[in-house]
A and B are shown apart, each in its own frame.
Chain A
């Protein structure tokens, strides 16, 4: 490793760390990916619902509640934070049917967002 290469490497990394990464946009948090996916029909009942948001979220001020077709709560236990932007909640054993996932989160920029996702177990939704 030449001294010149080290200088170039350090300059490039310093530029990235101070300039590019420091200008990352913060915005509201909305679901980027969810498991089960929004609107999906799954054959096997999921054991948890997992949502990755577009921004980091604060678990202390966030919640996910999963309900069945008649409004009964089928999520259980404590909300878990798998990554800065990813939350998960465990589910009771699910029967075939339609389910809604009500989510509400506080993003790291202190804005509250909320919404509803839906999924179906088995063929009940067809």
Chain B
């Protein structure tokens, strides 16, 4: 009987102190197709799903919160094109859904006017504070890139420059590709840099998830002291890199402000020509 009690005690201790997933859902942005003929329409899609919980998949869960979301496309000259007011809601109505909340996505069409590399940046910023209570800040940054070319080929997109510029501002978390995201082939190495408030940050785990294989394909790597991490990609498909962490900031009055930072980056992997 003593052994049984001991076993039960250990069980409840393990249950209480079990490791919990660091996060759950996160938002990402996809553009289809990733390489288009100049003057053609690209569809920018804002999705929200299951990358970071146990599913580790592209399964849709929830929606971006449109009230707090901004969408920009940076053209080859670095000029910002605001698409926030052009978002079309193709998801469920929040007032008519069950206890799990609305699911779905937003879409914005964009027509390229010149040749070159375009980058999409989506940010969702939320703050909460009740009277003089603790403050909560949440910043989510999602990025991806696409190319508009007279001859839209992977071989031409591979020569594009400018993909390694920071776009996300000085307050959030941002994944920056150091490898051209439009020239990645199966079995290539891809190096990403993570910046927090504009500076490289080490020791944060970035996960890379392939769309079709989902959990089976997931790779987790911690950023080095330069904020960098390198993955070897698998078969041709869409891949998503994601990272999330929270920061607690104790105040002199004993309350604890909380900040939550999320970042995703989506890129295509192509078959070798």
Contacts and interface: CB of A to CB of B under 8 A. Distances in A.
B14 A18 contact: yes
A30 B100 contact: yes
A25 B25 CA distance: 10
Given A1-B1, A9-B7, A109-B23, A17 B138 contact: no
Contacts of A16: 11
Interface in B66-87: none
A18 B15 CA distance: 8
Contacts of B130: 60-61, 63
A76 to B, nearest CB: 15
Contacts of B133: 60-61
B104 to A, nearest CB: 13
A126 interface: no
A26 B19 contact: no
Interface in A48-66: 54, 58, 60-61, 63
A21 interface: yes
B13 to A, nearest CB: 9
A110 B11 contact: no
In this complex, the interface size class of chain A, counting residues with CB under 8 Å from chain B, is: 20 to 34
B66 to A, nearest CB: 13
B14 A26 contact: no
Contacts, number: 101
Contacts of A35: none
B179 interface: no
Interface stretch (A67-75, A87-95, A111-119): A111-119
A83 interface: no
28 contacts: A6-B3, A13-B10, A14-B14, A17-B14, A18-B14, A21-B15, A22-B19, A22-B20, A24-B20, A24-B54, A25-B55, A26-B23, A26-B24, A27-B24, A27-B53, A28-B62, A30-B99, A30-B100, A30-B101, A61-B130, A61-B133, A61-B258, A109-B23, A109-B24, A110-B23, A110-B246, A112-B126, A112-B138
Interface of A: 1, 3, 6, 9-10, 13-14, 16-18, 21-28, 30-32, 54, 58, 60-61, 63, 104, 106, 109-113, 115
